[in-house]
Amino acid sequence: MSMDLYIYYRVAAERAQQFDHAATAMQAGLSHRHRIASALKRRPEIEDGHHTWMEVYSSVPPDFTHIVEQAVTQSGIAAFIAGPRHTESFVNISSCV
């Protein structure tokens, strides 16, 4: 059964450009290696000096959360992230029926 992952967290606004480049490269590698679609999104507003960012991974296998966490560690983007990363998984409705 495939699912979509939504992972959100906060990054200091002054580090947004550096983070964007590093996270985009990480996602491009994941997308290429695992043949999945991904997206990187950011809320437009700044709250307490931080933006909220979201990684989106579409139609991934159940163990993909672990793969993403390894990629975060290897890419070094964890150094940009303030606080915890929150992961939510949603299954495709066609998989549920």
CATH code, domain carrying 33:
3.30.70.100
For residue 29 the two structure tokens come to 């590698």
Indicate the number of domains in the chain.
Answer: 1
| Mean pLDDT, the chain, whole residue set | 93
- Residue 69 counted as domain residue: yes
Q: What distance in Å separates the CA atoms of residue 9 and residue 94, rounded to the nearest whole number?
A: 29
pLDDT band at 96 (very low <50, low <70, confident <90, very high): low
- Residue 28 counted as domain residue: yes
Residue 94 has pLDDT above 90, yes or no: no
For residue 43 the two structure tokens come to 């809320």
**CA angle, 57 then 81 then 46, to 5°:** 90
Strand ranges (E), the chain: 3-12, 37-42, 50-60, 81-91
For residue 61 the two structure tokens come to 């296998």
- Residue 26 counted as domain residue: yes
Query: Residue 75: which domain range?
Result: 3-91
Mean pLDDT of all residues in 64-76: 96
Residue 16: what pLDDT?
A: 96
Mean pLDDT of all residues in 38-60: 97
Question: pTM of the full predicted structure?
Answer: 0.90
pLDDT band at 95 (very low <50, low <70, confident <90, very high): low
